[in-house]
A and B are shown apart, each in its own frame.
Chain A
């Protein structure tokens, strides 16, 4: 790899996942989840991805482009991301890109088409999964459609002598893997929280380039139709009648709990 790094960070806007359960209304008839009183935010793992990209840029120089696919994307959310250290924004926006009408397969094809249309991209980084669907498939799709190597669940990214060394989360620890550029990486939260933007950068963010495209502007060779069909959407029934155990003192409560669990054949 010569010179500076061109990094694309794919970020999805989602209803704030820290919102209470009551803020998600499930509309089964229209197969939609309607967020109530919670603002859109960048999906948390995508924030981790942005942080990873900014760190790489600080070390190696280059440019970070934020790429977001959606419908009526929130401008403040995009600007906040830019303020953290990105250089430009590319949004793919259209009614057809609404979160309810596009699946991960299509989103990945849109991103691949947009990246293919850019001058030179060394790295595409995104979160391990989005906080709304929690699918974690878009990274794999981008890599497949662009024929780039993919490393998922990264917790640390190093670039030495043109090669990527990546620590990847594993069931019982982590592994260190090496691959070449250009590549696609999905990151896990272990890689680090997003930094707070400086006031001066927040002001500057508005002056950074923001390009908007429609799916119809993209190279149609990359675009795919959806492969998943949602047939049903329902609200889960998780509220239970909790059996409360209470004795006269803590020792008795502990003993009663054990006995009750045994009686109910739970232990």
Chain B
């Protein structure tokens, strides 16, 4: 049991042959990934992507890969991440961690980070990561890069972190003057690693009894976006102003469901109330980079492009041949989407079915 609040620390015998009571667990600097758990107790898809990035970086730089999990129940997720190659999983288990509380989570991680030698902390960029990442960095007076789309170690061992700025009109590469660097990684940048035989170990963190939060969570309200989370979807079918109304989004939903994907939108349909703002893709909404992105009746404002331009395959359907979206799309059709859709959906179903 690892004592976070006090000095007395010991290791359970089966773990490693560390006899000293200090918590210098490795001579080499580590990479800590923060794993968010889903309702079913397993790691979120975004967290697995983050672990994938951490694993690659650890391998190429010879560093240790750690993971921290906070939740009401942590064992299933902890065992799962070990199979993805994590060397040590730290678990903070307790009712107070069942849902995200900013201060409890950030203080717990800060306490852990004070005890281990870290070069880099990685977490996924969603509404939780965007909140948590900067908190951790400031609590340690270290550097943070949010919406990170690339990470690498220089030959000298310095970490480099790439981030789009000015609405993706420029790409900046940053290095940290104060470590550990915290990188909040955009969804879709990493891939879940292949599963292997687990060789790492699980460490339950002794919790700081004095841990308090000035922020009380009163309630959680879920807004149904129709199944698959946008940031995690492999296929996103998005519509713009030209979709015309709620009914139009029904047909987009049909195409999305063929792929088990999610429906997105540019800002105008959300402002018009055709679809919830939870579905908005863009710099002021969700940033996604799925394998397949359909931009249907979307002209391609800079604000929308910033949220999807890194998708692996972009298919644009638009009546206007001069629409900016065709400059970033891989495949394009100039026509009224309503006339294209029936035959396209029918053919996709046949081809995928085969």
Contacts and interface: CB of A to CB of B under 8 A. Distances in A.
Contacts of B225: 172
Interface in A181-207: 188-190
A252 B176 CA distance: 54
A161 interface: no
A151 B218 CA distance: 13
Contacts of A178: 215-216, 218
Contacts, number: 264
Interface of B: 99, 102-103, 126-128, 130-131, 134-135, 137-139, 141-147, 160, 163-178, 214-223, 225, 229, 231, 259, 277-278, 283-284, 291-292, 301-303, 305-306, 309, 313-316, 326-336, 339-348, 351-352
A240 interface: yes
Nearest to A138: B134
B178 A227 contact: yes
Interface in A127-178: 128-129, 131-137, 139-141, 143-145, 149-153, 165, 168-178
A232 B174 CA distance: 7
Nearest to A249: B339
A30 to B, nearest CB: 12
A175 B348 contact: no
Contact of B328 (A139, A140, A168, A238): A238
Nearest to A35: B166
Given A33-B170, A105-B143, A257-B340, A239 B351 contact: no
Interface of A: 15, 17-21, 24, 26, 31, 33, 44-45, 104-105, 108, 128-129, 131-137, 139-141, 143-145, 149-153, 165, 168-180, 188-190, 224-236, 238-240, 242-246, 250-255, 257-262, 266-267
Given A173-B223, A236-B169, A267-B352, A231 B174 contact: yes
A228 B169 contact: no
Contacts of B173: 230-234
A108 B352 CA distance: 52
A100 B226 CA distance: 42
Contacts of A259: 347, 351
Given A31-B172, A245-B331, 7 more contacts: A17-B166, A137-B144, A140-B138, A151-B215, A228-B174, A240-B329, A242-B331
Contacts of A260: 331
A177 B347 contact: no
A15 B166 contact: yes
B165 A33 contact: yes
Given A134-B283, A150-B135, A178-B216, A253 B223 contact: no
Nearest to B310: A238
B164 to A, nearest CB: 7
Contact of B134 (A19, A140, A168, A244): A140
